[in-house]
């Protein structure tokens, strides 16, 4: 959203919010679910996508059907298979190509890796995304390629895999792998909504109305998607990777996840922020080591 369109949106929602908070909340929710443009914003990013496209072309591409369109999936086969299969899920405004550093390391270790482009992202159909659509994408990937030994998710993708494992939507079966890895992921969707609402200058009533839209489409409150609560209940061994300097998802999210129990381990990857963290070879190795149960792995709780 450009600065001009943001100003116009803030003004429009501000006026509507003073007249009808519920309508403003519904409008804000629609804006929230609208996915960003897939066009690379910089030449450097375009170059990275071009390099990744060569690797993507070597993967087995299969489009799977969910309720509102097609989901692009990619299957990466190793030269020497060790018997494990992992699912990789990118974050908001991202795509499989952005997860290639991690995928490459897992495949090199003998992992069979499946990655999906979430609705409205990458090669998948649509212009919107919400938690229901994302869980549906994980569900269809699991039914096609699973069960998965591990699920790895970045940012929103981390929240998605935890909710998919927990079965937070009654219409989809819970899909629980042996291990979970979240990278720079939020623990509270209500907190994400509040952050978005503040950017748009929304008052408390409008933000509350926006959150109520989750109850309308999911038949349950937004707090039912809190990942720290699910991690506490599931006790699946989980690695949480985060950076204190993450400016998009605050470090408190990792701290809250870490309080879920001794089965959750937190590793701080400081200096890597929110996006560079998934391009780090060290982080990719850390993820692979965790899935390998490598004795040299050092974690900070």
pTM, rounded to two decimals: 0.94
Q: How many CA atoms lie within 13 A of 165 on its CB side?
A: 33
* φ, ψ dihedrals at 56, nearest 5°: -60, -35
- pLDDT of amino acid 2: 66
Residue 186 reports pLDDT greater than 50: yes
Pick from 284, 278, 241: nearest CA to 105 = 284
Cβ neighbours of residue 161 under 8 Å, at least 6 residues apart?
Answer: 87, 89, 138, 151, 152, 153, 180, 182
Structure tokens at 167: 């079965």
**CATH code for residues 43-187+226-292:** 3.40.50.1820
Alpha carbons 138 and 150: distance in angstroms, whole number: 12
* pLDDT tier at 244, thresholds 50, 70, 90: very high
Domain with CATH 3.40.50.1820 in the chain: 43-187+226-292
How confident is the model over 68-83, as pLDDT tens digits? 799 999 999 999 999 9
The mean per-residue pLDDT over the stretch 183-212 comes to 95
Alpha carbons 152 and 154: distance in angstroms, whole number: 7
How confident is the model over 18-27, as pLDDT tens digits? 999 999 999 9
- Length of the chain in terms of residues written: 301
C-beta separation of 210 from 202 below 8 A: yes
Pick from 131, 217, 143: nearest CA to 173 = 143
Burial letters 226-252, b for 16+ CB under 10 A, else e: bbbbbbeebebbbbbbbbeebeebbbe
- pLDDT of amino acid 1: 62
Query: What is the separation of C-alpha 80 from the centre of its chain, rounded to a whole number of angstroms?
Result: 29
Residue 242 reports pLDDT greater than 80: yes
Q: Distances from the Cα of 198 to the Cαs of 10, 13, 103, in angstroms?
A: 10, 12, 35
C-beta separation of 121 from 90 below 8 A: yes
The mean per-residue pLDDT over the stretch 273-284 comes to 98
Strands 238-242 and 179-183: parallel
> Mean pLDDT lowest for which of 3-7, 43-47, 97-101, 194-198?
3-7
C-beta separation of 99 from 278 below 8 A: yes
Alpha carbons 289 and 293: distance in angstroms, whole number: 6
């Amino acid at each position: 959203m450009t600065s001009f369109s943001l100003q116009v949106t803030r003004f429009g929602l501000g006026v509507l919010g003073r007249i009808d908070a519920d309508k403003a909340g519904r409008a804000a929710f629609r804006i929230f679910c609208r996915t960003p443009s897939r066009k690379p914003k910089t030449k450097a990013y375009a170059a990275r996508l071009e390099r990744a496209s060569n690797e993507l072309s070597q993967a087995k591409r299969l489009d799977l059907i969910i309720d509102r369109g097609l989901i692009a999936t990619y299957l990466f086969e190793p030269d020497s298979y060790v018997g494990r299969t992992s699912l990789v899920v990118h974050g908001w405004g991202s795509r499989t190509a952005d997860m290639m550093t991690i995928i490459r390391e897992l495949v090199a270790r003998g992992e069979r890796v499946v990655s999906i482009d979430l609705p409205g992202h990458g090669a998948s159909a649509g212009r919107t995304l919400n938690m229901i659509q994302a869980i549906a994408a994980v569900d269809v990937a699991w039914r096609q390629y699973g069960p998965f030994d591990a699920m790895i998710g970045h940012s929103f993708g981390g929240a998605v895999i935890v909710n998919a494992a927990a079965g937070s939507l009654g219409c989809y079966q819970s899909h629980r792998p042996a291990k979970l890895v979240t990278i720079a992921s939020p623990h509270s969707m209500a907190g994400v909504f509040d952050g978005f609402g503040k950017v748009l200058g929304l008052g408390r009533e409008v933000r509350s109305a926006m959150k109520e839209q989750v109850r309308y489409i999911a038949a349950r409150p937004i707090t039912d998607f809190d990942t720290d609560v699910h991690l506490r209940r599931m006790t699946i061994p989980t690695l949480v990777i985060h950076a204190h300097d993450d400016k998009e998802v605050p470090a408190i999210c990792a701290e809250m996840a870490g309080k879920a129990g001794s089965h959750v381990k937190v590793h701080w990857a400081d200096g890597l922020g929110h996006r560079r963290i998934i391009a780090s070879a060290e982080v990719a190795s850390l993820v692979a080591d965790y899935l390998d149960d490598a004795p040299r792995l050092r974690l900070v709780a």
